[in-house]
Amino acid sequence: MSIGENRNIDEMKLKISQWKRLRSTIHLGGGQKAIDKQHEQGKLTARERITLLLDKNTNTIEIAEFAGYEMYEDVGGCPSGGAVVVMGYVSRRLVIIVANDATVKAGAWFPITAKKNLRAQEIAMENKIPIIYLVDSAGVFLPMQDEIFPDKEHFGRMFRNNAKMSAMGIPQIAAVMGSCVAGGAYLPIMSDESLIVDKTGSIFLAGSYLVKAAIGEDIDNETLGGATTHCEISGVTDYKMENDQACIEKIRSLVDKLGHRVQTGFDRIESQPAVGDEDAIYKFISEDNSKPYDTQELLKTIVDKGEIDEYKALYGQSIVCAYARIDGWSVGIVANQRKVVKSKKGEMQFGGVIYSDSADKAARFIMNCNQKRIPLVFLQDVTGFMVGSRSEHGGIIKDGAKLVNAMANSIVPKFTIIIGNSYGAGNYAMCGKAYDPRLIYSWPTGKMAVMGGSQAANTLLQIQVAALKKKGEEIDEEKKQEMLKKVTDQYLKTTTPYYAAARLWTDGIMDPADTRKVISMGIEAANHAPIPDQYILGAIQT
């Protein structure tokens, strides 16, 4: 192993260590005092409930773990978006679990909370897998109600999705384990089955204080909307449970009785390990994402037995297209090439740039995977499409549009991993968030932006300097460098994987060693949603 590769491993491990420290803080939600208060009320925390609900010693994926990171600082923050979302196994069934975190502002909904909950429902709907809601929320965070309440992708969309999922036959189970108020009160009754925990769970459109103010009636919350009321009088809920533990055990029993769906039929054989030791996957990406590496060698650390069947290996070499298996699943991989390649056209330093021939090759490969019903995996380390007169005259826009068209109209499930750069139109062509990947995760080395930091900073600096000169201000070199540093720092902050994950541009950040697990669980989920033949045909013709 080279000195550079050893350095890359050390840098990656440092980034993973930082990621783990931040996760530990996020997992505390509203802090230890808030956790202790939850326990004093006889309730488990959101994460404790999920741990108890999941099958032991099975794989899980947390969705949008960093939602809200470094956002809403002026109101105390919103760790993990005030909710915990996990894909995992309950009674041997793959499900999505959504749990309000009552240690964060009593589980109140921030704008990012709504976005995160809708993402969880989207995953359930796309893959036709059951969804379980563990409800403990004070409702909309009132100071930000204008950003949560009325728009299409706001709070109300969740109940629209409840109705749509019921019509699609996707099982929904809601357990009211704390507050469930106002508009949120529709959730349990719009789910297929609902449970409520005695003495701690409550459901009402308006609490006792608001009832008093509105109609002058004196009533306590338990009588108004507690477990006895809704299981014995209103019939809103189906199961009255003694405590959190009993409620979770009942959910597991209900999931255990679910029927099975017809599966898509994605091909899977016995899983085989990838090539290399546990550090092998860490050696490729340099600290600043600028150093070349061999993408084919990286793939060996991800795919079963390190074996790939490369498509058009000698043509369009700035993108690697290959058939392979990941954890036994048949996949089609589209990955940016970062190494120097010698071709008949001369030595080429790709650096993640997409050329016309590569775009054409990738488009054809995507259509092949649609015809063969093979899920697609995109590994992004892309700086954009090739520019300049030669590329423009050669039709780079046309070929790029062909790739985007094929990728956007692909019917087989797509999974995107951002391992390095994700810049400009390259993000689109390689299946960024706008193009509906079933899951999209970033390594700690991922960077998302319209363009690279230095190019963008210099462009922004030129604009600022020009504006100041118009006002008659003279800018010396020292002042210019000071301005450049400020602009660069500000811009780079918005390109980090944490900034992207906080806003749900990705589903999260992961240890590169978990790449196989994320892709495998994603395909297993997608295998629950059959694809009609006419859609496959349409995608190929497009």
CA distance 535 to 409: 10
Burial 335-349 (b: 16+ CB within 10 A, else e): bbbbbebeeeeeebe
Q: Which amino acid is at 478?
A: E
φ, ψ (nearest 5 deg) of residue 80:
55, 25
* Both structure tokens of 71: 């956002």
* Predicted pLDDT at 289: 85
Write down the pLDDT at residue 346: 61
Length reported for the chain: 542
Q: Look at residue 387 in the predicted model and tell me its pLDDT.
A: 63
The answer to whether the CB of 85 falls within 8 A of the CB of 119 is yes
Coil vs helix vs strand at 76:
coil
Question: How far is 348 from 342, CA to CA, in rounded Å?
Answer: 6
Which positions ≥6 away from 474 have C-beta within 8 Å?
A: none
Q: What angle do CA 122, 126, 132 make, to 5 degrees?
A: 60
Please identify every stretch of the chain with a pLDDT value under 50, giving residue numbers as ranges.
Answer: none
Contact 146, 168 (CB under 8 A): no
pLDDT of residue 348: 65
Contacts of 486 (CB under 8 A, 6+ apart): none
Residue 288 has what pLDDT?
A: 84
Helix (H), strand (E) at residue 89: strand 83-90
Tell me what pLDDT residue 182 has. 78
